[in-house]
Amino acid sequence: MTRDVTDEQARAGVTADEQARAGVTADEQAAAADLGAWRNHFLTLLDRIPLPIAVCSIYGEVHVANPAMAAEWGTTPGRLRGRPLRERFTPRSEEQLDRLVRALRTGRTSRYPIEVTWRAGHEGPEREGEFTIDPIMTVPEPAPVLLAMLYVRDEQPEPPPVPGGSVSGVQARILALAASGATTASIGKALGLTVDGVNYHLTRLSQRWRVQGRTALVAKAYALGVLAPGRWPPEPAGGLIAP
């Protein structure tokens, strides 16, 4: 016995069985379209969130990241795919990371904080913050994905640059003794250094200040304010002594 077909199906040459099979395919296509639409909604929402966020594998490799996260790497979101978080971020405590690994092995899906440091961009300042890692189970995948959200702390100010004329305490005393006319051996004996040790410091200072000879080195030390003017025996000025 044949199935009844509608006039429109008959005109199109489509049987009821073929229509049923086409209906299953249409449902699957509709489901796929819905999934794609929701994925696009998710990515649009992710892009608009100012908080740095990445979705990663359980090994920490980035599946997708938003522009705020990419900015911390000094790149674009598309270039982060497949790159491990530890390439950029250094955990302050390996114990926090071990806790997350143990949780993943036992199937727990609690939220885990991990304090990290990193350098923003390619040559930016060092920054501090905390990752909040949420293991999320997905169907039908057996392993969770990790939702990593980065909370950036206030940037630490960079230490002021050391003045060009600053020297260590040992170097300042070497220069003062050299200015008094002491020999290399005498300088070493006075400061508890070997002759090679004294020559090492004098050579480093000559290279740094781009001068040759002890006389020129002492003159440069006075010009930079490392040695106090008008004092005899010569002594360090004190203002440019680095710790």
> Domains of the chain, with CATH numbers?
51-152 (3.30.450.20), 167-238 (1.10.10.10)
**Structural contact between residues 20 and 14, judged by C-beta atoms closer than 8 angstroms:** no
**Structural contact between residues 111 and 132, judged by C-beta atoms closer than 8 angstroms:** yes
In 120-193, DSSP assigns E strands to: 126-136, 145-152, 167-168
The whole-model pTM stands at 0.50
Q: Which pLDDT score is estimated for 12?
A: 47
Q: Which pLDDT score is estimated for 76?
A: 84
Q: Which pLDDT score is estimated for 5?
A: 47
Q: Which pLDDT score is estimated for 100?
A: 84
Nearest-angstrom CA–CA distance, 44 and 165:
53
Q: Which pLDDT score is estimated for 10?
A: 45
**Structure tokens of 220?**
């440069």
Q: Which pLDDT score is estimated for 139?
A: 60
Q: Which pLDDT score is estimated for 67?
A: 87
Q: Shortest CA distance to 136 belongs to which of 146, 126, 128? A: 146
Nearest-angstrom CA–CA distance, 121 and 72:
6
Q: Shortest CA distance to 213 belongs to which of 221, 203, 225? A: 203
**Structural contact between residues 67 and 86, judged by C-beta atoms closer than 8 angstroms:** no
Beta partners for residue 54, in sequence order: 65, 148
Q: Residue 178 in 3-state DSSP?
A: helix
Nearest-angstrom CA–CA distance, 63 and 77:
10
pLDDT in tens, the chain (243 residues): 444 444 444 444 555 555 455 555 666 666 666 656 666 777 788 888 888 999 998 888 999 998 888 888 888 888 889 999 988 899 988 888 888 888 888 777 778 899 999 887 666 678 899 999 988 876 666 677 899 999 988 655 555 444 555 787 888 889 889 888 889 999 988 888 888 888 888 888 888 888 888 888 888 888 888 888 878 888 887 655 544
Q: Which pLDDT score is estimated for 15?
A: 52
Residue 29 amino acid letter? Q
Q: Which pLDDT score is estimated for 75?
A: 83
Q: Which pLDDT score is estimated for 155?
A: 58
